[in-house]
Structure formats: structure tokens, C-alpha cells
Amino acid sequence: MSALPAAAAPAHADEAVPARRRESGPMPSRVVVINDRSLAFGGATGLALLSAGLLRARGLPVTYLAGDEGRNPVLDEAGIPVHALGGRRLLEAGALASLRRGLYNPATLDLVGDLIRQDDPGTVYHLHTWSQILSPSVFRALEPVRERLFVSAHDFFLTCPNGAYALFRQGEACPHVPLGLACLTTQCDRRSYAHKLWRVARQTVQARTLHYRGGGPRVLAIHAAMRPLLVRGGVPDESITTLPNPITPWSPTRIAAEGNRTFVFVGRLNEEKGPDLAARAARRAGVPLMVIGDGPLLETLRRAHPEVVFPGRQPAETVARLVCDARALVMPSRYPEPYGLVAGEALWSGLPVILTDQALLAADIVAREAGLACDPRDEAALAGAMARLAGDDALTEQMSRNAFTRTADLGHSAQGWTDALLDAYATALSAGLSPARAALPA
């Protein structure tokens, strides 16, 4: 089924107007975007690259510092210089190198130090990911400019050894204080307790190199519900600013979900994301399922579920075309998703979302009657949610309309997100380098 014509514009459509910054503070003289990788294989790197491109399009000088080889033609085409460490991710670098460099990579000090030697008081530094290549040494390197440092909390690696506040073995959310006695004695790692202890060692090194004083660094949380978890791990409440992710909907008009049959999963095919849970629940509910993405579970899922359609990993434009025939998005992650960008893309396109009740967006989606939340490990409950939407066109249509018109506050347009970033930077540059005291408006 094709998308319906825009009978009523969604609330978020107004964000497509030219950018309007809320603050009148100074613009940065330069923004240094820092990230483990220069090619997007996940949401965090995609957002780091997006921010670099959007800020450069506003006329700001932007430098991209990458832990990998830094070879991305998109950055070259945008005129964004790249400083690259030339490193490899932990699982690619060999066991001994991973153990040593993952704890503290001295090469990061040299690379970041070279940039800081070119520093001026108007330069802002924005760190996205560091746990795979740059290591906690990046915080020691950035210590001289911490008052102008922003750290995006795409996950919980700022505070939690496994980055998710999740007991992966038990399939539950973690209630413990990071690095406390209960944390140290709990086997929460998906691999082994030895690996958990290595993660604890890395977190300990990070805690000794990351200092919240003198007004920085500022932490940008992608959802307000991250705040208490970050505070539990030692981030000062006054250092946290809520900045929801940018959302580009798959469809500019509402997808008529009530006329479609196929449920869709979009994401990496690994155990944490739960594509196997979606496939088993779809079989039990007797509904068709399409799984878009790639990952270690792909071949296993293909063998176990020949009834499921597996297009593989697809570019954004192909995903947008495929989901126009979808009934709803299924997002059955086994651990608490801090955001889940595909949920926002689905909602703003008019697709209802069935997601884990541990996702931070779950309460928002249910309150707006734009989807259903359940424990995805309860196969009967997940199958029941899928069957409920499959068998009720009126409910599906109402949730589709609610998703399209009542979820504007759950994210930003790309330009609105850029405005919010610039406002945050202006706060740091104009307010005597004092920590942000309140969340930015969504």
C-alpha cells in the first residue's frame, strides 16, 4: 500500500522551516567532532557525521577527529578536515593490543594534543564515542578544554561498564550503582565474567581521567529518562542537558498502516536487538514479518524462519520504500534502549511501534497511544501485541494517526537539532563557562 496524501500535516512538519536559534550567544569559531569511527555502522557514528555536516553547512569551520583511518569521502566533499588515529576496533586489533589499548590508548593523547595546541577560546569540542578505539585516555587529553567539551550520551558508557545498565545474562535492567560492590560481583557481561572485570578496569580508568569540575564537560542526554541513570553513575545533575535525537521520517505523509499486513524490524541483527524474538512472535501470531538489517544472527534467522523476508542491510532510501507497506514497527530489544532512532523514524511516518517496556521511549509512545509496549522475552505477550494490531484495522489506524500527529516532541528535525546544538555551544561560550542548569526545550 502507498502512503496516504497529507490530509493533515503532522505537528513536526513545522520544523522543516529555516533554522531559528533560540539563543543569541556567540557562535563557535570552530567545532571539533570526535568519534571512534569515520564510517557509519551504527546510530552514534551516524549522528556524529550528521552533526559535522550540518554544522559545516551553517558556515562553521569543523574538524573531524577519528579513531580509525578517517577515510570518508563524504567528509572530504564537505570540506571537513580529518585527523585520524589509524586504529582498529577492539575485536579487530588482536587480544593483547585490545586489552592494553582499550584501557588507555596513549596515541590518543598525541592526536588530541596536536589539535588542542591549535586551540582558541572559541573552539568547542564534541565527543561522541570512544570505547572502541580512542579509549578513556581521550578524557585526559581533553582535560585542558573540559569547559568547552560536550559529550553525547548515546548509551551509558559514560557510567556503566557494559554501557547499557543491563544484566545481559539475565535479560533484565541493572539496578546497581556502577563500580559498587554489587556491580563488581554481578556477572552481567554477555561474554564472560573475565570480560566483565576488564570492563570494570576500563571504567575505573575512565573515572580517574574524567573530572566534572570548572563547568565541564557537559553531557547531552538523548532522552530525559537517562538523567537518573547518569546521575547514579556519578554525572552531576547540573552537567546534563536533554537533547533529543534528530529524526528524518521514512515518509513525509502518513503511511496508511491500517491497509498493510507486514510487520517490520529494522536494525542490527544481534542478540541485544532481539530480531529472533520478533521472528518467533510473528510466527506464533501468524503475521508476516520483514527483517531489514545485517549482523551475526542473519544466517541463523534465515534457516530458522524461511517465512520471514530478509532484504539485508539497505540504504536509507530503500528502507523508506520498503516500510511503506508495513503495518507496524517491532523493536523488541533485550536491554533498555536509550532512544531507538528507528522508533522515531517510524512514528513520524505514521507507523505504530511495538517495543520493549524497558525502552526509555516506551512510556512516551504508550501515553500518546501510538503503539504498544510489552516484555519481549514473553513470547506470548509480544505475539499477542502483534496479533492485536493485525486484527484491528480501526485501532491500527488510530495509532497510526496518533504516531503521525502526536509525537513531535520526541525528537528534532535535522535543522532543529542543529539549532539546539548551537544553543548549547553558545551557553558554554557566553555564560562564563558555567554548566548548563536546565534541559534544552525539545
The pLDDT of residue 46 is 92
The pLDDT of residue 408 is 94
Which segment of 81-85, 88-92, 295-299, 432-436 scores lowest on mean pLDDT? 432-436
Structural fold of domain 11-158+210-246+413-430: Rossmann fold (3.40.50)
Query: C-alpha cell of 250?
Result: 521514512
Confidence class of residue 351 from pLDDT cuts 50, 70 and 90?
Answer: very high
Looking at the structure, give the CATH architecture of the domain made up of residues 257-410.
3-Layer(aba) Sandwich (3.40)
Higher-pLDDT residue of 23, 361? 361
Confidence class of residue 96 from pLDDT cuts 50, 70 and 90?
Answer: low
Query: Is there a contact between 357 and 378 (Cβ–Cβ < 8 Å)?
Result: no
Confidence class of residue 98 from pLDDT cuts 50, 70 and 90?
Answer: low
pTM, two decimals, is: 0.88
Per-residue pLDDT tens for 367-419?
Answer: 999 999 999 889 999 999 999 999 999 999 999 999 999 999 999 999 999 99
Which segment of 41-45, 71-75, 94-98, 392-396 scores lowest on mean pLDDT? 94-98
- Beta pairing class for 82-84 and 62-66: parallel
Per-residue pLDDT tens for 77-94?
Answer: 999 999 999 998 776 656
The pLDDT of residue 155 is 93
> Cα–Cα distance between 220 and 124 in angstroms, integer?
14
| Confidence check: pLDDT of 3 > 60 | no
CA atoms lying within 13 Å on the CB side of residue 164: 21
Higher-pLDDT residue of 433, 48? 48
Query: How many other C-beta atoms are found inside a 10 Å radius of the C-beta of residue 318?
Result: 13
Which residues are CB-neighbours of 177 under 8 A, at least 6 positions away? 183, 232, 233
Higher-pLDDT residue of 18, 25? 25
| Average predicted confidence (pLDDT) for the chain | 89
Tell me which amino acid residue 275 is.
P
Percent helix / strand / coil, the chain, rounded to 5: 40, 15, 45
| Confidence check: pLDDT of 355 > 70 | yes
The pLDDT of residue 184 is 95
Phi, psi angle pair for 354, to nearest 5°: -105, 120
What percentage of the chain exceeds 70 in pLDDT?
90
Q: Where do the CATH 3.40.50.2000 domains begin and end in the chain?
A: 11-158+210-246+413-430, 257-410
